[in-house]
Chains A and B, each alone.
Chain A
């Protein structure tokens, strides 16, 4: 295979962890919405925790995206 083709393929494989991150983020959003639905009074408290866990989980997807970008462009 040509080097360019291998780079593209490696970039695609590097994006596979996004599936796991998507599942995790879906769980976080679902849990947040359910919790706020059950107890709207706790929304302020939950909002901060939600933002924090969202950012930490989302960062894992960003890691994969970054590695894919480096493989394809750098």
Chain B
């Protein structure tokens, strides 16, 4: 059963072991795919912007589309003031979407399917929002938790709810991405397991495996959609959190 275990694909195995002072800093398969992802996006964007022509070629068009997509996303959600956060949002979007898309390659490793990776990204967003808020507004930043026009006897409850929702942001942000990636990949493996089960029954039962295979083909398309949409949602939520903090106008 070990080879058919759907959770096996998420196992982290060290490629180069390195443990200075008992801290595990090994180069794992997760790190390897992160490096591959970084190289892929660097090559794509590097080639796209190497020969800049007025009428874009195919690769240049891809680069321009990605740039324009993220730029639109920022101006829609933050406004013109958000332009200075473009490098941050673009990097986050590229890291997440490249990780999700590389995970769809057979026998690859999805680095966004680990809570450690997504939690690091989400905590980065959380602390950047916190630091930007405190630098921009100083002590006025804490007005974020006190909405205007709330009656005094209800204020403690509203502040408590706002505080909890602010602190739970990195949790929901990271768990959403990681759960989507894990559940999608496990679902595909489970359905593929049904196909193997039918095929190993012998006789005419192999025909029954056509149904799971057909379903899996649809699921692969859906997984590509999910891979894109989760990266989009991650970037949009980062924008919305930044906007909340930039525009404290009470």
* A16 at the B interface (CB under 8 A): no
* A38 at the B interface (CB under 8 A): no
Residues from chain B with a CB closer than 8 A to the CB of A51 are: 229, 232
- Which chain B residues (127-182) contact chain A, with CB distance < 8 Å? 175-176, 179-180, 182
Q: Say whether B182 contacts A66, CB under 8 Å.
A: yes
Q: Which residue from chain B places its CB closest to the CB of A69 in the assembled complex?
A: B186
Residues from chain B with a CB closer than 8 A to the CB of A59 are: 176, 179-180, 233
Q: Say whether A52 contacts B186, CB under 8 Å.
A: no
A52 to B183, CA, bound (A): 19
* A74 at the B interface (CB under 8 A): yes
Q: How many Å from the CB of B220 to the closest CB on chain A?
A: 17
Q: Say whether A65 contacts B229, CB under 8 Å.
A: no
Residues from chain A with a CB closer than 8 A to the CB of B187 are: 65
A62 to B229, CA, bound (A): 14
Q: Say whether B233 contacts A52, CB under 8 Å.
A: yes
* B76 at the A interface (CB under 8 A): yes
Chain A at the B interface: SS class: helix
Residues from chain A with a CB closer than 8 A to the CB of B183 are: 62, 65-66, 69
A65 to B175, CA, bound (A): 13
* B74 at the A interface (CB under 8 A): no
Q: Say whether A73 contacts B6, CB under 8 Å.
A: yes
Q: Which of B6, B226, B233 contacts A69 (CB 8 A)?
A: B6
Q: How many Å from the CB of A48 to the closest CB on chain B?
A: 7
- Which chain A residues (15-74) contact chain B, with CB distance < 8 Å? 48, 51-52, 54-56, 59, 62-63, 65-66, 69, 73-74
* B230 at the A interface (CB under 8 A): yes
Q: How many Å from the CB of B42 to the closest CB on chain A?
A: 27
A55 to B100, CA, bound (A): 15
Q: Say whether A62 contacts B180, CB under 8 Å.
A: yes
A22 to B184, CA, bound (A): 17
Residues from chain A with a CB closer than 8 A to the CB of B190 are: 69
Residues from chain A with a CB closer than 8 A to the CB of B229 are: 51, 54-55
User: Counting chain A CB atoms within 10 Å of each CB, which of B5, B7, B183, B190 scores highest?
Assistant: B183
Q: Which residues of A contact B (CB under 8 A)?
A: 48, 51-52, 54-56, 59, 62-63, 65-66, 69, 73-74
